[in-house]
Chain A
Amino acid sequence: MRLGSARALPGLARLAGGLLVVFLALPPAALILTLGAGDFVDALEGGMLAALALSLVTTLLTAALLLLLGTPLAWWLGRRRGRAARAVEALVRLPAVTPPAVAGVALLAAFGRGGLFGDPLAALGVGVPFTPAAVVLAQLFVAAPFYVLPLAEAFAELDEDLLWTARSLGAGPARAFFRIALPLCGPALLGGLAVAWARALGEFGATLVFAGNLPGVTQTLPIGIYAAMEGDLGPARAMAAVLLGVAVILFVALRSAPVERLVGLRR
């Protein structure tokens, strides 16, 4: 028996862990077991597909923005130790501890028509609230810490010598990053991206306040669920089951062979 393997867990510890598994599994299981086919029909008639499509498109954009903007930020945070880096890290952490509705109010205060940048945005002919762009901004705001911070930590633990070796063998900084740093930090990148994406997918409070609720325009699946709950609970539960399913597919897909090959985890 290997020390530290799962089998080394004493019975009591295994029981404790198992208890949590049961507790976490029961609500989603109950949600799915109590559903009838009629609930799905009602949900479809209630505009579930439009809400699902909007959720998929907006979270895909959010994930793309996180990769494009969040990866360089994580690299900088991971390689710097100064006061500035620590201040920025605290700033990036902030949305994770901010209640989502408060995040929505803050986004309105910044980008709303009556907000700080309302007038310059209006001069450009841009109104952000009540648009799909507002949905993406709300998701980006709340999800960013879950991608950037774990990745920054992984970059910080990277073996400096490996990077220098690559550079001394003639690799440019970009090549060293893509061939050495990225594959070594791949698990952190994919794990962070999965959690951030899931957070964006489930986003509700900030979106409702900042983007509002209009089917086909700003009504994402979580907001559709809440709106449906004002009426009958059945369709709302069917939509919730679909949302869970999408999240599961997302987690599995992000650890699939093609994706791992993409970030260099597999050849």
Chain B
Amino acid sequence: MAAREGSRNRSPGFSRRAQYGLFLGYVATVAGAVVAGVILLVSTFDPRTFTSLRTVAAELTTPVASAASFISSNIRMIPNTVGDYFALKQRNEGLRKQIENDLALTQRARALNYENQRLKQLLNLQERSSSVVVAARLVSSSASSTRRYAMLNAGSRQGVGDGQPVRGPIGLIGRIVETGPNTARVLLLTDPESIVPVRRARDGVPAIIAGRGDGTLEVRSVNATNVEFQPGELLVTSGIGGIFFPNVPVARIISRSRDLATARPLSPPDTLDLALVEAAYLPIPDNDAKPR
């Protein structure tokens, strides 16, 4: 006989079975809480401990998130499409004018590019070129958490691996931290534990970009000298550390300050856009390949 709904189950009466059941429930909860505390400590110190559990869960649920993302992106595209249709003619004229204006600049850039290649050949410089592993979509994120993760709907079957950088159409988004067969977890730039080595696009002053957790980034100058950051300055990856390819745009400074500035990521990641997963710049060699 079940207990009456809405009443407390705390006095189970004279039934020994009910008394033991209630008591065991409390014992199990207290013991479980203690074990969970230990698990929490372990996973705080080594976040990779329970990766496999999370990966299985993500494999099962990411198709749902992908479908939801597909539907919502199509709905959100409707107003844009209608607007595009009517603004098309005007935009066409504007673009044509812009092409004419940019023609001189393009010619100059082509000449510079040619010169650059010739100089590199003269120096016998080895260049690694970036290679896109897969283009996929970020389908959901850890919206309720203090950490900033996003789920990508491509995984190791598509060639995605831990540590690979992820970039959007405009700039860097983050890097892969956990990989399943068809899903991967991306650590976004804005995560409090994300760090990206960058340099100022204008003059190459080195800096480090760390996430703050509130959507902005902290830019720390690496130079000993006083570096003054101005609003609007562009920061690009420097390639130091071997994960991110050099010269990928990352962020723009939003406030003037010395040595420690605030920046905003160039591409706030969106489920509408494609995310490009690239091979790591200089992949870390396997442990087996280490010299003895």
Q: A and B, one complex?
A: no
A contact residues vs B (CB 8 Å cutoff): none
Give B residues with C-beta under 8 Å from A.
Answer: none
